[in-house]
Amino acid sequence: MRVYYDRDADVNLIKTKKVAVIGYGSQGHAHANNLKDSGVKDVVIGLREGSTAAEKARNAGFTVMTPDKAAAWADVVMVLTPDEGQGTLYKESLEKNLKQGAALAFAHGLSIHFRLIEARPDLDVFLIAPKGPGHTVRSEYQRGGGVPCLVAIAQDKSGKA
């Protein structure tokens, strides 16, 4: 096992990407706001029509799109919705709309490990799984700290996952 620290990461790599965070619940709000506060200029929130989280996301300064439109727009799509709906979300909204060569990311590995999602072969697929609930991820970031995360690569098509 290799342990990585902040000094091993280059936040500039994500700053040039268009990032869609699908979901704006516990993890979604934390990831989106932490990305924005880290200097990632192009972050949108993907939510289904009529989502009660849309107003909260807009009030935080985010553009809200449907998941299919967010997937078509983004270079990196971070799926932060409940596990049980991710397979359907991918099949109905993401799979055919993700850009060729985009990256698909998760904060929990269930959908990939149990093949609820079988990602297109042209995609990078990776996991960044914080070991804490979203409110802790966010509050630790705001105080200048962080929480440990598991990082894994399921598919490295680009060689840069």
Residues recognised as catalytic: 108
Give the count of beta carbons closer than 10 Å to the beta carbon of residue 67: 24
CA distance 17 to 11: 11
User: How many CA atoms, within 13 angstroms, populate the side-chain half-sphere of residue 97?
Assistant: 19
How far apart, in whole angstroms, are the C-alpha atoms of residue 27 and residue 41? 19
Residue 83 CA to residue 28 CA, distance in Å, equals 13
Q: Pick from 136, 104, 109, 132: which is nearest to 120 by CA?
A: 104
Alpha carbon dihedral 38, 36, 126, 143, in 10-degree steps, equals 50
Half-sphere CA count of 62, side-chain side, radius 13 A: 33
